[in-house]
Every structure is written in C-alpha cells, then in structure tokens.
Amino acid sequence: MTDDLHALEKWAGALLAKLSPAARRQLLRELGRDLRRAQQSRVASQRNPDGSAYAPRKVKASSKRLRDKAGRVKREAMFRKLRTARYLRIDVDNTGLAIGFDERLSRIARVHQEGQKAPVEPGGPLAQYPVRVVLGFADDDRELVRNRLLRELTR
C-alpha cells in the first residue's frame, strides 16, 4: 500500500503544486470527504480493498441466541462505529491529506489491519486477529483521485 501512496503522491504532487494554497486545501478537503465515503461504504460492506470479504468473526459462547430461524450463525457487522465520520477523521493542511483514526481507535484498527495478536478485552487473553484491511486504496479510489484532480485542473 505504501508503494501505491508514493506513486500517487509523485503523480499528484506536481499537479497540486500548480494550485494556490487555498485552492489546494479546498481540493484536498473535498477529496478527503470522497475518499472517506468510499472507505465507509467499503467497511460497511465488510470488504477488503481487493474486493475479498473480511474474515468472519469467531462465534463467542454467550447467553445470546447465536442462530437465527434458518439455523445460520448470526453475524453483526464489524467496525460499525469505526466507520462513522466521528471516528474516521480527515486532516488537511498545505502539505497534504490524511485520513485515519484518533489514538485509541487507531490501535484497534491497526490490530485488524495488520492481523496482530492483541488482548480480546483489557486484561483478557491474547487472540490472533485475522487481517482485515480497514483503510486501503482500491482501484476505484485511485480512479476517484485521478478524476477529481483532472476535473479540478481543467476548470
């Protein structure tokens, strides 16, 4: 993913340098909103940037009814709060655009993004989490950036 970001930065950097600082910030803010919407919809559909589905949650033994009427295991969507605009932040300045989480939530996202081993709950047992790419560039996102930049520069 970092190679993709470097290639995008190299291509877009020269184009963005032609804009005034105020126009650059405005364009980056709009681009950030578009990318955040794309990330939110992808996370809501429980998909990695390559289109594959997230690894399903493990079934936990609890008092809740685990099966629905058809006998299938119930699954709640993961990262429901993580994908909201309150937590998925956009930072824009003269140097660029950043989309990410605050410190506390970034730890949760990083564990899933990289498939790390982490405690299930504070002081609880460690569990190996499967890789679930929470933030990443899909082909559609690259196309979105390219189209937005070209549309802005042809104005």
**pLDDT surpasses 60 at 71:** no
65: in domain: no
50: in domain: yes
128: in domain: yes
38: confidence class by pLDDT, cuts 50, 70, 90 = very high
66: in domain: no
Long-range contacts of the stretch 128-131 (C-beta < 8 A, 24+): 130/54, 130/55, 131/55
59: in domain: no
Residue scoring higher pLDDT (128 or 15): 128
**pLDDT surpasses 60 at 89:** yes
**pLDDT surpasses 60 at 155:** yes
Assess contact for 54 and 47: CB atoms under 8 A: yes
Across the range 76-80, mean pLDDT stands at: 82
| Number of domain units in the chain | 1
Domain that holds residue 84: 2-54+73-153
